Amino acid sequence: MDIQVNAIDAAFARLREEGRTALIPFLTIGDPDLGTSVEIIEALEQAGADMIELGVPYSDPLADGPVIQRASERALANGRVTLEDCIQVAEHARGAGVKLPFILFSYYNPVLQFGLERFFELVTAKGISGLIIPDLPIEEDAELRAMAEAANIHLIPLVAPTSNDRVVRIAAKARGFVYCVSSLGVTGVRADFHQGIDEFLATVRSATNTPIAVGFGISSREQVERFSKQADGVIVGSAIVRKIEEVVPLLQSPAMKQDGLAQIRAFVGELKG
Amino acid sequence: MTQVPDENGRFGKFGGRYVPETLMNALIELEEAYRHYSKDPDFIAEVRYLLTKYSGRPTSLYHAQRLSEHLGGAQIYLKREDLNHTGAHKINNTIGQGVLAKRMGKTKIIAETGAGQHGVASATVAALLGMECKVFMGEEDTKRQELNVFRMKLLGAEVVPVTSGTRTLKDACNETLRYWVSHVDDTYYILGSVTGPHPYPMMVRDFQRIIGDESREQIQKEAGRLPDYVVAAVGGGSNAIGMFYPFIGDASVKLIGVEAAGRGVDTDEHAATMTKGRHGVFQGSLSYVLQDEYGQVQPAHSISAGLDYPGIGPEHAYLKDTERAAYLPITDAEALEALQLLSRTEGIIPALESAHAIAQVMKLAPTLGSDQIIVVSLSGRGDKDVQAIMGYLEGGM
């Protein structure tokens, strides 16, 4: 039997050959509605994204700043978007021809309530390649990690500038890529990154052969270029979610929807350079 | 009995540390500092000194004879945590954590608050120890508890209104954690209950167990034996665990936690986490959580802002599932009735939180003989609630 290559690994291998850095946008699924999320995913691919983080809206998003909190609130207010709905969106996006690897971003409780076994059956069937669970540190992830490895789904860990001696242990277990948190604090656009960010990234780099990606607070082309020199991937979350928030009125109007999608495409295209 | 929590912060399956990686080293550092200082004689002496000379401990265990006679059953003893400085048990914990923060070299403290009691206790300790203090409080609660907001400001603290989510205690907790993530270097987070990630449930229990330790000694001195029942109200569960913990090994002592049933456990407006919740991960630990079938946390409701919380400490979940303690719901209306009864029979106006425990005693005492003993934690005084109670009693529910 062939061991299937995970799509995230394949994408990083190809990017390495091309000498490029992955652009990894994030969106909150269901903001403003499930159907539009599929179209936004298509727009992100057209604009040059290399993988996409699909954010599951949650009532208590501890690691997120106000922009993504508001997106969660919108998604939950507009018809209680569930974990299963988010995975369906991935399937519909595939149906619409999207080829990019999908990474599901969810807080732990929705996954736990869905049931871990049922969850892995579903994500495997629907073409999800990776998982990010921001409130599941290595001390708590043994059961889920074992199931993820068995299913060939990459559990992507976060490391922070405060991780210090934990970096080596976390990086050793990392699959897909290591998500390096650029600054202390929650997600959100910011001008300054943590002092010592360069040293931090170098530490992570030296701890693993797995690709590393930088996220939290990246919002401009200059910042994307800055981190492209040090990392294999750059994650842009709040800046895109804020752009989506700006164009929600357009996205909700049948006549204006294409304008809204075009603005998102243009924004991501500009980040990409 | 095995020691809980274990080194991973687990009470059986409950507890743990479900937090963003950014906080992990801060929690580990906190745990190490706590384990070190909790054995340090100087630290212990300083905390003890402040509890005695500043807060007025030990608090009395008072035999409520008129209430006992009125209910016509068991003898009821009130553990008078309401007599503490700042009017509730919350100060036991903030003194302990405040002194710890200072020893750890932190210069700033932050805290979450619902009704404002923990915020006031934190602001008080910050003033006492000469530290900066920021208190995060849901915007809704800042309106409901205007007087406590002013008290905190008077004590030199900054009150930060929280406008995310439901704008109540649960979101104040989220916001405090978010702030802490960005300021872990110089800031100490004084968490107010036995909730959150390890080591908080263990540490806050240890700082609150003085309630039960004193009660256990006092009742034996006064009645010559252990009580038959120990009763305490549960929101996050800090006064209840403080009261229960020293009695856990006493098999003959039945432990009853009283949670807020709001408008009734069959309505959507309650805070009955044990009665209606399920196992889940919320704000850093695995415990019982009020949530929908998809794992979204549900807003809670209670007349008492201190019980208005959709989670509960993991050690309580452990006590429930091992059947060492029982958890029973009391409605807003029952709590209000109990508050009036205690006021009229004993001249003690309890906090709305504590009135829930009294309401359970009103049901329990008449079923027992006059030779049986109930010790109940009167966790706080009602001064803070007087205006709200006036609104309820004169304006209807």
- A45 in a domain, yes or no? yes
**Percent of chain A that is helix, strand, coil (3-state, to 5):** 50, 10, 40
- A178 in a domain, yes or no? no
As given in the structure block, the two tokens for residue B228 are 């038959």
Residue of B nearest to A185 (CA): B182
Residue predicted with more confidence, B227 or B165: B227
- 8 Å CB contact between B205 and B48: no
Beta bridge pairs of residue A233: A22, A213
Q: Is pLDDT above 90 for B200? A: yes
* Residue that is written with structure tokens 């969850």 in the block: A119
Average pLDDT, rounded, for chain A: 95
Q: Is pLDDT above 50 for B29? A: yes
Q: Write down the catalytic residue from B112, B140, B175, B214.
A: B112
Give the pairing of strands A22-28 and B158-162.
Answer: unpaired
Instruction: Find how far residue A196's CA is from the centre of its chain.
Output: 24
Q: Is pLDDT above 80 for B31? A: yes
pLDDT digits (tens, 9 = 90+) for B337-356: 999 999 999 999 999 999 99
A172 has a chain B CB within 8 A of its CB = no
Over residues B177-183, the mean pLDDT reads: 91
pLDDT digits (tens, 9 = 90+) for B221-280: 999 999 999 999 999 999 999 999 999 999 999 999 999 999 999 999 999 999 999 999
Over residues B102-112, the mean pLDDT reads: 97
Residue of A nearest to B179 (CA): A185
- 8 Å CB contact between B316 and B242: no
B54: pLDDT confidence band, cut at 50, 70 and 90?
very high
Amino acid at B28: I
pLDDT digits (tens, 9 = 90+) for A74-90: 999 977 899 999 999 99
Task: Give the H or E element holding residue A229.
Answer: none
Residue A94 has a CB neighbour count (10 Å cut-off) of 16
pLDDT at residue number A188 = 79
Task: For residue B162, give Cα distances in angstroms to A67, B120, B137, B182, B343.
Answer: 15, 17, 6, 16, 34
Over residues B30-36, the mean pLDDT reads: 97
B183 has a chain A CB within 8 A of its CB = yes
A140 has a chain B CB within 8 A of its CB = yes
Cis peptide before A134 (omega within 30 of 0): no
pLDDT at residue number B217 = 98
Phi, psi of B312 (to 5 degrees): -160, 150
Q: Is pLDDT above 80 for B116? A: yes
B3: pLDDT confidence band, cut at 50, 70 and 90?
confident
pLDDT at residue number B252 = 98
Q: Is pLDDT above 90 for B131? A: yes
A47: pLDDT confidence band, cut at 50, 70 and 90?
very high
- 8 Å CB contact between B161 and B189: no
Q: How long a stretch of residues is chain B?
A: 397
Over residues A12-16, the mean pLDDT reads: 97
CATH number for the domain spanning A65: value is 3.20.20.70
CA distance A77 to chain B (A): 11
Number of domains making up chain A: 1
Task: For residue A89, give Cα distances in angstroms to A54, A118, B66.
Answer: 9, 17, 65
pLDDT at residue number A3 = 63
A190: pLDDT confidence band, cut at 50, 70 and 90?
confident
* Residue that is written with structure tokens 């745990």 in the block: B31
pLDDT at residue number B374 = 98
- 8 Å CB contact between B277 and B310: yes
Q: Cβ separation of B21 and A137 shorter than 8 Å?
A: yes
- A121 in a domain, yes or no? yes
Q: Is pLDDT above 70 for B2? A: no
pLDDT at residue number A1 = 41
The DSSP secondary structure of A204-218, one letter per residue, reads HHHH-SS-EEEESS-
- A243 in a domain, yes or no? yes
pLDDT digits (tens, 9 = 90+) for B65-96: 999 999 999 999 999 999 999 999 999 999 99
pLDDT digits (tens, 9 = 90+) for A174-189: 999 999 999 888 887 7
pLDDT at residue number B397 = 53
Q: Is pLDDT above 50 for A104? A: yes
Instruction: Name which of B296, B297, B298 to mutate to probe chain A: the one with the most chain A Cβ atoms within 10 A of its Cβ.
Output: B296
As given in the structure block, the two tokens for residue A121 are 């059956």
What CA–CA distance (Å, rounded) separates B300 from B271? 5
Over residues B116-138, the mean pLDDT reads: 97
Task: For residue B79, give Cα distances in angstroms to B120, B219, B220.
Answer: 21, 10, 14
Strand order, beta sheet including B61-63:
B61-63, B75-80, B373-378, B229-233, B254-262, B325-331
Q: Write down the catalytic residue from A53, A121, A143, A270.
A: A53
Please give the residue range of the domain that contains residue A52: 20-156+232-272
What CA–CA distance (Å, rounded) separates A247 from A262? 10
Average pLDDT, rounded, for chain B: 96
- A256 in a domain, yes or no? yes
Over residues B184-189, the mean pLDDT reads: 92
pLDDT at residue number A184 = 81
Instruction: Name which of A59, A180, A195 to mutate to probe chain B: the one with the most chain B Cβ atoms within 10 A of its Cβ.
Output: A59
CA distance A122 to chain B (A): 15
Q: Which of B181, B282, B292 sits opposite A185 (nearest CB)?
A: B181
Annotation marks residue A53 as catalytic: yes
Would you put residue B216 in left (φ > 0), alpha (ψ -120 to 50) or beta? alpha
- A192 in a domain, yes or no? no
pLDDT at residue number B46 = 98
- A198 in a domain, yes or no? no
Give the pairing of strands B75-80 and B61-63.
Answer: antiparallel
Q: Which of B17, B280, B292 sits opposite A137 (nearest CB)?
A: B17
A249 has a chain B CB within 8 A of its CB = no
A73 has a chain B CB within 8 A of its CB = yes
Q: Is pLDDT above 70 for B19? A: yes
A118 has a chain B CB within 8 A of its CB = no
CA distance B146 to chain A (A): 25
ipTM reported for the complex, 2 dp: 0.95
pLDDT at residue number A79 = 74
Under DSSP, the state recorded for B28 is H
Number of helical (H) and strand (E) elements in chain B, helices listed first: 16, 14
Residue predicted with more confidence, B379 or A183: B379
A60: pLDDT confidence band, cut at 50, 70 and 90?
very high
Q: Which of B20, B170, B184 sits opposite A158 (nearest CB)?
A: B20
Annotation marks residue B112 as catalytic: yes
- A77 in a domain, yes or no? yes
Q: Is pLDDT above 70 for B1? A: no
